Chain A
Amino acid sequence: MEIVLAFIIGGLYAAGLYMLMRRSLVKLVIGLALLSQAANLLIFTLGRLIRGRPALIPSDMARLVEPFADPVPQALILTAIVIGFGVQAFAIILIKRAYQTVGTDDLDDMRSTDVMHGSSSAPPVNLPNDKWRSPVEATLRDEGA
């Protein structure tokens, strides 16, 4: 089973990294989620697998007796799951707002804080209008153009 999990972990890492390298913001968030699953599973597998022996001390005993599932990786993963959720939730709302404000989810168009469609090879996607820019900035750009 460890061998099977090793391939699942590899697959999740590959998929996560591939999505992180995409230009679309939404795909980036999906990549982030995949990557955190992969990391959790990696830690879990390194703690070795065992069936039906959770780290619970039976009521008639004072301590765990072998064999038992390693509680240390589990404790780490528990924290990681919750934090991963926080990151994901924040990222989802962030890209929603960013898309609303900037009008594109192409990372290549977000490289600069000043000019929106700096050196992008793709044509501007769904550009709303000049609303989001301050008047000064708008003037500057118009003069530059």
Chain B
Amino acid sequence: MAIIMAILSGFALTVVAPWLCRLARGATGWIIALQPVGLAFYFASQLHPIAAGGVIALSYPWVPGLGIALSFYVDGLSLLFALLISGIGALVVIYAGGYLGEHPQAGRFYALILMFMASMLGLVLAGNVITMFVFWELTSLSSFLLIGFDHQREAARAAALQALLVTGAGGLALLAGLLLLGQAGGSLELSTLLNEGRAIQSHPLYLSILLLILVGAFTKSAQVPFHFWLPGAMEAPTPVSAYLHSATMVKAGVYLLARLSPVLGGSEAWHYLVTGAGTATMLLGAAVALWQTDLKRILAYSTVSTLGALVLLLGMDTVLSVKAAMLFLLVHALYKGALFLIAGAVDHETGTREVTRLGRLARAMPVTAVAAGLAALSMAGLPPMLGFINKELLYEAKLQAPRASVLVTSAGVLANMFLVAVAGIVGFAPFFGRRADPPRMPHEAPLAMLVGPAVLAGLGLVCGLFPDAASIVVSAAAGAVRAEVTAVELKLWHGINPVLGLSLLTVAAGVGLYAARGFLRRAGSIGDAIGRWGPRRWYSLLLASLNGLARVQTRLLQSGYLRRYLMVIVLTTVALVGSTLLLRGGLTEPVPSLLDARFYEWTIAALILLATLMAVLSPSRLAAAAALSVIGYGVALLYMLFSAPDLAMTQFAVETLTVILFVLVVYRLPRFASLSSRRARLRDAAIALLAGGLMTALVLTAMTLPRDLHLATYFAENSLLLAKGRNVVNAILVDFRALDTLGEITVLAVAGIGIYALLRLRLEEPADSGSSQPEEEV
């Protein structure tokens, strides 16, 4: 129950936030932070029972017919994420209070970030894959809204759309994968699926399931080649970058891989795909981060690198690698969250994020500088930070990898060298480096913007010195991923061993790269030139061709010419009805000669056809109107001859009225203009004759079929009995189907009102209304 409350309270607060913001103004951040703080304490209180192997599971029926339940499943892995989401969430909300200040849209911001927090919690606590997917999409959606928070800038809108399209496309693949997984595993409940690993891996659909789910995870976690949306997402306000695009949401893909690794992991395909994508992403992100100059873009690319490293560790799928991954998750959230918030504070205070213009800020911003230094130390993996312990564990795991350990280890060492230099660029140089020329002379950031970085960086130090607290969380998470109880013992000093050697090598090389950063930035322009041909270009090409396709399609189907639409409709009808007629054997039976035509009937028929021809071909309006009335009177005669006196009378009356109307109006109408070309006329005539032929064929076929006389018999028997009418047709109209007749009268009345309104209509025109009518030249 508490789990549901944890998620629902977030959504409830989303609704209230804008009002709260109007009342509390600057203090809103502090007030709203109470909710995530409370959640963090609640999750922390569950730590001990869950670390001992307990699981909180609860389920409410949702769509029982499809096996979809609103169920929740909380184990060590969920708990690690829930702690990160609520803990960092609290700090980010407080920070946002200072960052946004009196921003007019602050209420919307709080609402969106709370919505994200609740969705993300739902995602990691969900126990049904469909429930999880719903929350997964909600995080994509809130990410879209947050990236585009500053929606008046085009760059922000484009980045938001790009992030949504990439993660949304991945989401579709994920949904397909999850549904197949449910089919293969026989259930959509995680608790059942987690025990079905063997059955699923031997299922013929295993490879499709794996590929689809990996696409979902890789798009969300910005793995190569889908990584490009994450640096773009830096258009979002900095608290959003720190929270969504570094600490939590982008790790949803990692969460998914960890969650499903007992089900899908361990196979060859898993190993090569996941390790391969992870390694590529890790190296690419770290390398590109080196030559960026925007603080946030540097951090974004280093986040891409970390996500790659996490995916790589999960792909190796050993006890040690999973431990290292879980610890890395925690460590990265702490130092990267801190560095993002610091980048925001520096931007806020100095007005720039260009590292080349920042230097020696330590004197003006001492607290920020200390926090930055600590976070950078942790990022570089130096003692006594938690980052150091983490790096040792990473190297150990990679050295003991069952497959390709040399390759994996050297890739890891290389990426870490880059990251050491990046840590120096973002955490050291702006504060302790050479003096530079920021647009504004800075002073210390407000308290709200100091709490977050200080707490996060401080935790990195405290956990490094006293690693026991971290090891409880990490071992609970690793135990959940490995589905076995895993003890994780973390210590700072491991003795002299190969891992320490690698660490020393990394730091030395990293410092060297840091010193050469100016050269690297110049060399980076080559990298940028290559990058222009990368996936971002494919994305824009794909988008452009999609738009092009839509345009062509619209031009073809939505020409705006009535006759084109008619042609499409007529030809489709002819093709469908005609082919049915042919396939079902229409027209094969001879048409029974039911009634011989008499000579005067022949005359009427000939007259109608001749008048039809005349109506079509005549160049004069009056002649066409006359031809129309010949047709009308001819049809009325036919009604009369074939036992329909009421129809005949009505038709005579209506035809007379129509002729009068036409004659009254005809000289106000434009003359017949021959607007179409000869070719167009021939084409139209062919289409029209085809349709007419089809109608003839239909009538002839209908004549060979039996007729349902059920209704006719009913009216024949009951017309006098029930309706007291001897004229059956009239009885039907005014009694049996009286409501239809009322409708008909209404239509006529509406037409009459419409005509009256049209005639009275005066479009604003000057006094000489008479001359507005076009002159007739007859």
Contact = CB atoms under 8 A, between A and B. Distances in A.
Contact of B748 (A23, A51, A77, A86): A86
A17 B720 contact: no
B765 interface: yes
A145 interface: no
A33 B631 CA distance: 10
A49 B716 CA distance: 17
A106 B616 contact: no
Interface string B107-141: 00000000000000000000000000000000000
Contact of B712 (A71, A89, A126): A71
Contacts, number: 305
A101 B635 contact: no
B755 A69 contact: no
Contact of A72 (B605, B613, B712, B720): B712
Nearest to B627: A30
Given A3-B591, A82-B654, A68 B716 contact: yes
Contact of B711 (A72, A105, A125): A72
Interface in B677-719: 684-685, 687-689, 691-696, 699-700, 702-703, 707, 709, 711-712, 715-717, 719
A54 B644 contact: yes
Contact of A57 (B669, B726, B759): B726
A99 B671 CA distance: 11
Consensus secondary structure, chain A interface:
helix
B517 to A, nearest CB: 53
B778 interface: no
A85 B660 CA distance: 12
B729 A126 contact: no
Interface residues of B, number: 104
Contacts of A97: 758-759, 761
Nearest to B716: A64
A63 B716 contact: yes
Interface stretch (B35-43, B195-203, B556-564): B556-564
A30 B737 contact: no
B668 A125 contact: no
A97 to B, nearest CB: 5
A131 to B, nearest CB: 6
Contacts of A57: 719-720, 726-728
A106 B737 CA distance: 41
A122 interface: yes
Given A54-B645, A64-B728, A11 B721 contact: no
Contacts of B526: none
B643 A24 contact: no
Interface in B712-746: 712, 715-717, 719-721, 726-729, 732-733, 737, 740-741, 744
A140 to B, nearest CB: 17
Contacts of B639: 44
B755 A93 contact: yes
A9 B720 contact: no
A4 interface: yes
Contact of A101 (B593, B748, B763): B763
Contacts of A59: 726
Nearest to A39: B695
A65 to B, nearest CB: 8
A15 B692 CA distance: 8
B687 A88 contact: no
B601 interface: yes
A10 B737 CA distance: 30
A78 interface: yes
Interface of B: 560-563, 566-567, 570, 591, 593-597, 601-602, 605, 608-609, 612-613, 615-616, 621, 624-625, 628, 631-632, 635, 638-639, 641-647, 650-651, 654, 657-658, 661-662, 665, 668-670, 672-673, 675-676, 684-685, 687-689, 691-696, 699-700, 702-703, 707, 709, 711-712, 715-717, 719-721, 726-729, 732-733, 737, 740-741, 744, 747-748, 750-752, 754-755, 758-759, 761, 763, 765-766, 772-774
Interface of A: 1-28, 30, 33-34, 37-38, 40-42, 44-46, 48-59, 62-65, 68-72, 74-75, 77-79, 81-90, 92-97, 99-101, 103-108, 111-112, 122, 125-126, 128, 131-132
13 contacts: A1-B601, A51-B595, A59-B726, A64-B717, A71-B716, A75-B732, A75-B737, A79-B733, A86-B747, A90-B754, A122-B675, A132-B763, A132-B765
Given A12-B692, A51-B595, A111-B561, 9 more contacts: A5-B638, A10-B694, A21-B567, A33-B632, A42-B699, A74-B644, A87-B751, A100-B772, A100-B773
